[in-house]
Amino acid sequence: MTAITKTRGALASLSLLLLAVSGLGSRADAAETVRIGTSAINSYIFALLDVGASAGIFAKHGITLDRIDFSGGGKLGEAMSAGAIDMALSGSTDLVFIAKGMPAKAVTMVSAAPVDLAIMVRSDGEITKPAQLKDKRIGVTSPTSLTAWLALDFAKRQGWKPTDIHLAYVGGVPSELAALHVKNVDAFVGSTQAGYVLQDKGQGFPLVTFDYLTTFITHILYASDALIKDHPETVKSVVAAWFDIVNFARAHKDETIRLSMPHTKLPADIAAKTYDVQTPALSLTGRFKPKALTAVAESFVDLHLLDTLPPLANLYTEKFLPQ
């Protein structure tokens, strides 16, 4: 073999190596960062985003997750309107922001019945039956919150007038727990996770759960209008990743609990109980049922957020769902 031949062979090998390295680099750069906002920090359903990242599911779909947490749907809605986030995993109450002009659409129905919420009472109190909540002071996050509507809907189903319960606007779960502890409220509507922790400490328990609200929507995956218009394939990839996460969670209980615990901050036994209650409630299709959408829209009228029902077709799209 001549020196020229050896040189040509070496150059060819070097070229192949450079091409390989270049190919690896282009594939690594292909992952697209998507900013996904949530309206709470420790929710199990929101923690599934982190499960998807840790299990490599987002990466499989060419997505890098940038999760950004906000203190409530109002702050998240402001971020979406300002273009600070691309998508959001949040409550159905955020649909009212779309009705009022937030540039986004609901792209996936995540869960129907609000199994992650309940009415909590103290263990040392006199309230042991739902009927005993009449004329009692019930803590909710705000006058226009889902927790407020759930309390009012509960009263209506009991045959009571709205004035037969007294709502106290105390903010999120930490404030609700404090208000219950010092007896500023007789009960509060909040996360069942918080209820399980109360029960474990012997301080309280969930008295009323809302799993009877099957014709409803509790959690939704949203996408900004800009992302839908300019990067529809990205929306499709995130939606596909979400359903892979749901299927992973259903098939891998122990792994899902382990990966979610750093984010829910729950003890192992309560994390397992939360998994058992909330995972089966996750939608496998993401379809928006008209009756469920109407029920959510009616809650906005009940809470005086809207005067009339908005055009439902303007709130969502199903074009990114798996066929």
pLDDT for position 141:
87
**DSSP secondary structure letters along 251-300:** H-HHHHHHHHHHHH---HHHHHHHHHHHGGGB-SS----HHHHHHHHHHH
Q: Which residues pair with 108 in a beta bridge?
A: 221
Where does 30-113+216-314 sit in CATH, by number? 3.40.190.10
Weakest-pLDDT range from 10-24, 54-68, 151-165, 291-305: 10-24
Q: DSSP character for 90?
A: E
- Inter-residue contact 89 to 45 (CB < 8 Å): yes
Q: Pick from 287, 233, 273: which is nearest to 44 by CA? A: 273
- Fold classification of 117-209 (topology level): D-Maltodextrin-Binding Protein; domain 2 (3.40.190)
Residue 172, pLDDT > 90, answer no
Question: Which residue type does 127 have?
Answer: I
- Inter-residue contact 61 to 237 (CB < 8 Å): yes
Domain definitions of the chain by residue range: 30-113+216-314, 117-209
Percentage of the chain exceeding pLDDT 90: 75
- Cα–Cα distance for residue pair 53/247, rounded to 1 Å: 14
Question: Which residue type does 114 have?
Answer: P
**What is the pLDDT confidence band of residue 6, given thresholds at 50, 70 and 90?**
very low
pLDDT in tens, 182-205: 999 999 999 898 889 889 999 999
Domains 30-113+216-314 and 117-209 are alike in CATH topology? yes
